[in-house]
Every structure is written in C-alpha cells, then in structure tokens.
C-alpha cells in the first residue's frame, strides 16, 4: 500500500487547458524532474524548492515521492507547486531520498491520475519515476506490458517506463541491470529521475534530447542532486557538477555516484528549443547562461534582418535577452514597450466575451506614452499559431505606434514535435501553411523576419550537428512510427 494524500478530484476544472483559443501561442514543455539522495537533509523540502525553480517547465500538476527505507511517502495533485504543497504536507514526506516532478501533459491527459512520480511495485520494493520527454513506441510497449498482465492505471508513457523496469526486475535483475534492459525497449526522448529503496537514478536517452544535470551539496559525505536545469540546483545551494551524458545512467547511493554508459551508440541531439525558450535564462548550458546565448541570437538577427526604427523591445519574458542583443548590434534604443502582469495564471473565473477578444491585455499591457508615434521592433522567440501575435500587434496599433516590425529569434516552426513538446498538428502551425509574407499580412505588421536556421545553430558556438531542430526542418533524429506520424504530419511539405 502506498500512502497518498488526495485533495482534489481527477478532473481539473480549468477550461483553459483544453481551449484552443486560450492556449499560449508558444510550444509548451513537457515537465521538470528532480532527484536527491541526502539522508542528513530534509529531502522533501529541498525537492519542493527544486520543483519551484523548475515550475516554468510545467504548470498542470506536481508531485514528490520520498523513500524511508522500504516505505514510500508521496503526494501529488493538480496545480502549481506552491498550490500542491504546504509545510504540513511536506512534514508528512520523511525519508533519505526523493524524486519530484512538475508536469505539462503531452502523452496522457491533464488529470490527477496522470500526475507524477509514477509509483509501481517490484520484487525489490517500490519504484518512483519522474519523466521529462515523450516515447514514440508507446503502442508497442503498452502491448508488451499488457501481455504480462500489468495493470496500467494511467494513460502516460511514463508509467509504461516504470512498469518496463518492474518487469525486468521481477524477472530477476537488480535495479541497475533491470533499468538498463528496460531503457533498451524505450524509443524517443526520456530524461528520468528514479527513486528506489537503495538509491536514486538519473537517466538520459541516447540522444539526450531533454536536459538533466548533476549537482553536489556542500556536505560530508558528499551528496548528489539531479535536476532538469541548473536553476533547480542553485535554489538549494547545490553546485553544478556536470550534465548526465546522452545514453548514461548515474546511480546515487550511500557509497556515492556510479556511472553506467548504458547505450554504446549515443549521439547528442539536445532540443534546440531548450536553449531558445524552454530553459530559464539563468540556467547553464555549455558553460554559460542561456541569457548569453539568447542575446547572441538578437545580435545575429540584427545582422540578418536590419530595420530602421526608434525603439526595440522584447515580449516578456522570453524575448527580452534577444531584444537587448538586437539593440546592441543595431544601435536602436532598447526600452520596455510591454508590461507583464506576473500574477496572471490559471483562473477558475472566465473572462467576459469582450475581455476574451482583447485577451492579450490580461497578460501584456502596452506603455502607450512610450510607444505613441514610434517605429518599433518587437522581438519574440517563436510563433506557433499566430493567434497571440496578432492580438499583440493590434494592441500596439491601438497604443498609437507608427510602424510595427516583428523579429523572431528562431526559424519558422513548420513541423510538430514528437519528443515532449506540445505542438499542434502540422496544419495548425502557421508557418507550415503560409509564407513569411503571408504571415506578415495576417499579423498586420510592417515587416516580419525570422532568424535563419544556420544562424540559430552557429550562434550556439557548439557542434551544429549536436542539436535536434526537427520542428524547423522535419528531420527527426528518432524514427517516428507511421501511425503517430500521420496523426500530426498532415501536410506533405511546409511552405516556408
């Protein structure tokens, strides 16, 4: 029996989750994961703060599972980390190790039963798994598990990974050997933190599509932390050690950290959108903050697509570093043109029809006196459907701008993601059905330019072949089964 606290029903009564019109005009991340082995510390509270720092990666549900010897204590629910947990709940989660998760659903609907960590029983005890990414062979894996009479209670691929490990362990394998055997049956993107009675695992798929980092706590003996990003380490005072490598499993126990390269043909293909948009700007990748990379994107845009204007500003918050870089390279003054209401989140109160029609002002409000009669350059990181961008341009027009020039710090998104980003079917992606000129006309901007694919990759200052950019090119590093491909790749060829 697994102790749980259940505070709400399965259904989450927020219509914005399923409303096409209300969804942000951005790709949305799958989730954030966290893991820690630190018997001398309050692991539940440290995990809470780690998830708090990773909240941007998923806002639908959150959960923590702690291990106290063979006993697992867990709590998970729908909502933000700060809504799901409080001091009293964290006090009910004792233990020497923990794994945590904050979720945005990609495989499996937005219901409490699909919240993670996924906890399953094995012959060696309970296992708790938190997953960032998306498998592409879920149909085959599900059939294999059902044949072995596993009772799948969720609709997530994450639960299938947990049961695949249980299947191998129950057949006689130890934790590490069983996990490695299970991972060879999984295809797609998976960065995992896994809790067991003996220790914590951190795992990445052979392409390392989703990030996972290792940190150390200033303690004797040395203790280890796992997180999707370094910002999840910073908040608890852990020092960044290194990334978990593609195709690597790290096993953290009382004796320290062991590394197993479980896949011998690993080829790094980190999702480039992690660098452009998903990860927090203060997180480290390639020995620098992503803020620095995003500023370089802006400088590159200024070189590729110059324009005469009076003011440049970014769409808060993700467009701001690129806007600063654009300003520095172009000599156009940087300023704030939009103010973000940082307390707009999920609400159970539906706006009026009039508010919905001008809904952009609920989150972003133009500074009319700053913008009036100005030629402005507005910088954003991406356009997916174009719905929000059009409302934003109209709000700027209403504020009295003379000209609106839009610059996007990534190439046109022409293909859906199958590896853990929630994107629409291809026919819903504006750049898959329209040319740049047609998009500019629909958005009602005076000019529109995207950063080139080559410029985006060159600006990383890394091996340009070490990134997945399938959403811009359709070149998927992991083969997509035909049935899954047909569900999203509706068009044969993108226009742009």
- Measured in degrees and rounded to the nearest 5, phi and psi for residue 211 equal -80, 160
Where in 321-393 does DSSP place strands (E)?
A: 338-340, 364-366, 375-380
Catalytic pick from 30, 31, 180, 360? Answer: 31
Find residue 119's DSSP bridge partners: 128
Active-site annotation holds for 186: no
What the block records as the tokens of 454 is 């080559």
CB-based contacts of 96, cutoff 8 Å, min separation 6: 37, 38, 39, 43, 67, 68
Instruction: Note whether 49 and 150 are within 8 A (CB).
Output: no
The annotated binding site for [4Fe-4S] cluster is made up of: 271, 417, 468, 471
The annotated binding site is made up of: 271, 318, 380-381, 417, 468, 471
Burial group, residue 428, by CB count within 10 angstroms (0-12, 13-18, 19+): middle
CB atoms within 10 A of CB 87: 8
> What's the farthest any 2 CA atoms get from each other in the chain?
73
The annotated binding site for Mg(2+) is made up of: 318, 380-381
Separation between Cα atoms, residue 108 and residue 134, nearest integer Å: 10
Q: What is the DSSP string of 421-489?
A: -B---GGGSHHHHS-HHHHHHHHT-SEEEE--HHHHHHTTTS-GGGEE-HHHH---SSPPPHHHHHHH-
Find residue 473's DSSP bridge partners: none
Instruction: Note whether 378 and 315 are within 8 A (CB).
Output: yes
CB-based contacts of 306, cutoff 8 Å, min separation 6: 330
Separation between Cα atoms, residue 26 and residue 388, nearest integer Å: 9
Give the active site residues: 31
């Amino acid at each position: 029996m697994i102790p749980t606290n259940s505070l709400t029903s399965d259904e989450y009564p927020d219509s914005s989750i399923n409303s096409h019109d209300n969804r942000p005009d951005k790709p949305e991340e799958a989730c954030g994961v966290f893991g820690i082995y630190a018997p001398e510390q309050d692991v539940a509270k440290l995990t809470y703060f780690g998830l708090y720092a990773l909240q941007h990666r998923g806002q639908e549900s959150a959960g923590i599972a702690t291990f106290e010897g063979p006993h697992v204590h867990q709590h998970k629910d729908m909502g933000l980390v700060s809504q799901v947990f409080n001091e009293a709940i964290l006090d009910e989660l004792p233990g020497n190790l923990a794994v945590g998760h904050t979720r945005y659903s990609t495989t499996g609907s937005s219901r409490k039963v699909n919240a993670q960590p996924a906890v399953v029983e094995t012959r060696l005890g309970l296992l708790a798994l938190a997953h960032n990414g998306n498998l592409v062979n879920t149909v085959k894996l599900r059939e294999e598990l059902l044949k072995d009479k596993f009772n799948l209670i969720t609709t997530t691929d994450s639960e299938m990974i947990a049961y695949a490990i249980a299947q191998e362990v129950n057949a006689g394998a130890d934790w590490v050997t069983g996990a490695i055997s299970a991972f060879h049956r999984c295809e797609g993107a998976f960065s995992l933190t896994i809790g067991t009675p003996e220790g914590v695992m951190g795992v990445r798929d052979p392409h390392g599509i989703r990030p996972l980092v290792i940190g150390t706590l200033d303690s004797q003996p040395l203790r280890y932390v796992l997180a999707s990003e370094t910002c999840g380490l910073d908040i608890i005072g852990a020092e960044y050690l290194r990334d978990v490598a593609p195709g690597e499993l790290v096993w953290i126990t009382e004796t320290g950290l062991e590394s197993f390269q479980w896949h011998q043909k690993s080829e790094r293909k980190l999702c480039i959108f992690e660098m452009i948009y998903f990860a927090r700007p203060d997180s480290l990748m390639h020995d620098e903050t992503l803020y620095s990379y995003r500023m370089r994107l802006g400088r590159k845009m200024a070189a590729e697509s110059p324009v005469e204007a009076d003011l440049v500003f970014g769409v808060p918050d993700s467009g701001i570093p690129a806007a600063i870089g654009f300003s520095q390279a172009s000599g156009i003054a940087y300023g704030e043109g939009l103010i973000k209401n940082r307390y707009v989140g999920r609400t159970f109160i539906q706006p009026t029809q009039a508010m919905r029609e001008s809904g952009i002002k609920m989150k972003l409000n133009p500074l009319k006196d700053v913008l009036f009669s100005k030629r402005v350059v507005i910088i954003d990181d991406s356009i997916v459907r174009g719905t929000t961008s059009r409302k934003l341009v109209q709000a700027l027009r209403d504020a009295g701008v003379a000209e609106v020039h839009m610059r996007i710090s990534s190439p046109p998104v022409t293909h859906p993601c199958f590896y853990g980003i929630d994107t629409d079917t291809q026919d819903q992606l504006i750049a898959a059905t329209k040319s740049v000129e047609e998009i500019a006309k629909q958005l009602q901007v005076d000019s529109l330019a995207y950063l080139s694919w080559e410029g985006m990759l060159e600006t990383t200052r890394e091996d340009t072949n070490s990134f997945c950019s399938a959403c811009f090119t359709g070149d998927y590093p992991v083969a997509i089964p035909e049935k899954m491909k047909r569900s999203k790749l509706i068009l044969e060829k993108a226009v742009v």
